[in-house]
């Protein structure tokens, strides 16, 4: 299926690794020119080179913290007028809510709620003017089914979700769509490092923790980031203009719900 976005421009945030990288790669495979960001320049350049080699599209890199005002300004200076915006950043740390003061909350809100909102605000009017825009926010399955130790993530991402539910309906008539993708367990560095913490605490091997997590879900495996990227590209496609304000859960059936 040709998604009809060849020649479009995308800004994909936090995209040197994991789910962001997979979204960038899937868009590049559709012929979309990319601007990708991450904090660590070396890994970012490596990913950009891999995407160029695999797809031949133009890839611009912006090294910086997308949760900071400077990082966002640099990303927007490199790509001021994207047709497609994929919002992503690292997730907040786990812990006990008693340990989180205002600073912890502010960091979580900056990365996982306010940064996507400010980036949407910066690009959406030009999307409306050209009558094409696709925005995808990477959130988490925890928005639907909260993970108690990830309270900072549960709170910040649910705030973003509520805002998007309203905004997506204000812009849909201009062929600008905003949807959220909710990952369950995908095999990325973040999943590996969470598994490493758990392995250390329980005296097991990292592979055993990941295998246990995989086995626990209905699909009997963890997700491949490429599967996530493909869903993102579809939501960014020309044909997806009537898909508005959705929260698409991609978790191999792990969240037990009749509707999700
Ligand atoms: P990952 O494998 O650790 O990759 C994170 C990517 O984001 C890296 O490229 C990282 O590069 C970049 N990044 C992180 N913070 C950034 C910042 N402030 N500014 C710019 N770039 C930043 O993580 P992932 O598994 O793909 O997760 C992506 C998002 O999905 C996270 O918010 C995570 O909490 C959420 N999520 C993931 C899963 C899962 O199973 N993987 C499940 C639920 C939710 P640098 O470190 O160099 O900046």
pLDDT per residue, tens digit, the chain (260 aa), is: 999 999 999 999 999 999 999 999 999 999 999 999 999 999 999 999 999 999 999 999 999 999 999 999 999 999 999 999 999 999 999 999 999 999 999 999 999 999 999 999 999 999 999 999 999 999 999 999 999 999 999 999 999 999 999 999 999 999 999 999 999 999 999 999 989 988 998 999 999 999 999 999 999 999 999 999 999 999 999 999 999 999 999 999 999 999 87
Q: Is the CB of 38 under 6 A from ligand 1?
A: yes
At 135 the three-state DSSP class reads: strand
Q: How far apart are CA 223 and CA 186, in angstroms?
A: 4
Q: Is the CB of 138 under 6 A from ligand 1?
A: yes
**Residue 113 per-residue DSSP state:** I
Q: How far apart are CA 199 and CA 132, in angstroms?
A: 46
Contacts of 161 (CB under 8 A, 6+ apart): 139, 143, 180, 247
Q: Is the CB of 65 under 6 A from ligand 1?
A: yes
Residue 96 alpha carbon to ligand 1 centre in Å: 21
Residue 156 alpha carbon to ligand 1 centre in Å: 15
Q: Which of 90, 74, 100 is nearest to 19 (CA)?
A: 90
| Edge-first strand listing for the sheet containing 9-12 | 59-63, 33-38, 9-12, 84-87, 133-138, 176-183, 247-250
Residue 154 confidence (pLDDT): 97
Entry field: residues in the chain: 260
Residue 197 confidence (pLDDT): 85
Q: How far apart are CA 103 and CA 70, in angstroms?
A: 19
Is the whole model's pTM more than 0.95, yes or no? yes
Q: Which of 157, 160, 168 is nearest to 133 (CA)?
A: 168
Residue 38 alpha carbon to ligand 1 centre in Å: 9
Residue 259 confidence (pLDDT): 85
Q: Is the CB of 63 under 6 A from ligand 1?
A: no
At 175 the three-state DSSP class reads: coil
Packed helices 41-55 and 18-29: angle between N→C axes, nearest 10 degrees: 30
Contact 247, 144 (CB under 8 A): yes
Q: Both ends of the chain: CA-CA distance in Å?
A: 26
Calculate Rg over the CA atoms of the chain: 18
Residue 194 confidence (pLDDT): 86
The alpha-helical segments, DSSP class H, found in 81-133 are 102-109, 115-130
Q: Is the CB of 37 under 6 A from ligand 1?
A: yes
| Beta carbons within 10 angstroms of residue 209's beta carbon | 21
User: In this structure, what token pair is assigned to residue 59?
Assistant: 């890839």
Pocket test for ligand 1, best of 12, 15, 19 (most atoms within 8 A of CB): 19
- 42 by Cβ neighbours in 10 Å (0-12 / 13-18 / 19+) ranks as exposed
Residue 131 alpha carbon to ligand 1 centre in Å: 30
Residue 155 confidence (pLDDT): 97
Packed helices 102-109 and 151-171: angle between N→C axes, nearest 10 degrees: 40
Residue 126 alpha carbon to ligand 1 centre in Å: 27
Q: Is the CB of 66 under 6 A from ligand 1?
A: yes
Three-point CA angle 113, 183, 177, nearest 5°: 60
């Amino acid at each position: 299926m040709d998604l009809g976005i060849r020649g479009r421009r995308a800004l994909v945030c936090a995209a040197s690794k994991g789910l962001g990288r997979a979204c960038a790669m899937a868009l590049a495979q559709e012929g979309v020119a990319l601007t990708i960001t991450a904090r660590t320049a070396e890994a970012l350049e490596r990913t950009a080179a891999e995407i160029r080699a695999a797809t031949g599209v133009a890839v611009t890199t912006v090294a910086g913290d997308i949760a900071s005002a400077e990082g966002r300004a640099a990303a927007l200076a490199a790509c001021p007028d994207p047709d497609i915006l994929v919002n992503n950043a690292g997730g907040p740390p786990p812990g006990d809510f008693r340990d989180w003061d205002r600073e912890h909350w502010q960091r979580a809100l900056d990365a996982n709620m306010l940064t996507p909102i400010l980036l949407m605000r910066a690009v959406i009017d030009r999307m409306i003017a050209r009558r094409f825009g696709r925005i995808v926010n990477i959130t988490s399955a925890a928005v639907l089914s909260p993970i108690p130790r990830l309270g900072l993530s549960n709170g910040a991402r649910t705030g973003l979700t509520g805002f998007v539910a309203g905004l997506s309906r204000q812009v849909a008539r201009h062929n600008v769509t905003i949807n959220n993708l909710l990952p369950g367990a995908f095999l990325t560095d973040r999943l590996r490092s969470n598994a490493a913490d758990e392995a250390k605490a329980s005296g097991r091997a990292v592979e055993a923790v990941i295998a246990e997590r995989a086995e626990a879900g209905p699909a009997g495996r963890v997700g491949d980031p490429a599967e996530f990227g493909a869903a993102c590209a579809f939501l960014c496609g020309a044909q997806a203009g009537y898909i508005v304000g959705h929260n698409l859960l991609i978790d191999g059936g792990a969240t037990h719900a009749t509707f999700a």
